[in-house]
Amino acid sequence: MKRKLVLILLCAVVLLGGAGAFLPTPYPVAPEPEQLEISAVLRPDADSENGSCESITDQVDLDALAQRIAACEASRLPFYQNSYSMDTVQYEINVLCREKPLHFVLGEESFVYESGPWCHRLRDAQPLIDALDRASAANGTQV
């Protein structure tokens, strides 16, 4: 009886240790850039009072942006977010990855979500924001 209890406790410790080591590590959001189809790159319109966005999709090299998105990593543990303020958003990117929609929200808090209120925080969004800033400032196709 003691032997079974020790075995069960040992298995529980191994499983919890594995989960504890696995969950904090980030995962690549979209590891294959060739499977990404970027449909829109949006920037909130600062002059608008109703929260509208302007499309800067034509100002961005979408292939280079797909490479940068493929380099992004997100936390494995989702968090619940029902809504977010457009005041803190710098860019939104709408992507199809393996025919599933992904929405990137970049700003003070950068996150990605597939649908609904469950989001994953992006770990390294600042290089992506900086590249979009350069592309929109140059008003040309660079990322």
Query: pTM of the entire structure?
Result: 0.78
- Distance in angstroms (rounded) separating the CA atoms of residues 141 and 64: 10
C-alpha span between 98 and 35 (Å, rounded): 6
Percent of the chain that is helix, strand, coil (3-state, to 5): 35, 30, 35
Give the number of C-alpha atoms closer than 13 A to the C-alpha of residue 37, restricted to the C-beta side.
7
Q: From first to last of its 143 residues, what are the pLDDT tens digits of the chain?
A: 788 887 787 777 777 766 665 556 777 888 888 889 999 999 987 666 666 888 888 888 999 999 999 988 998 888 887 777 778 889 999 999 888 899 999 998 899 998 777 899 998 899 999 989 888 777 655 55
DSSP state of 29: S
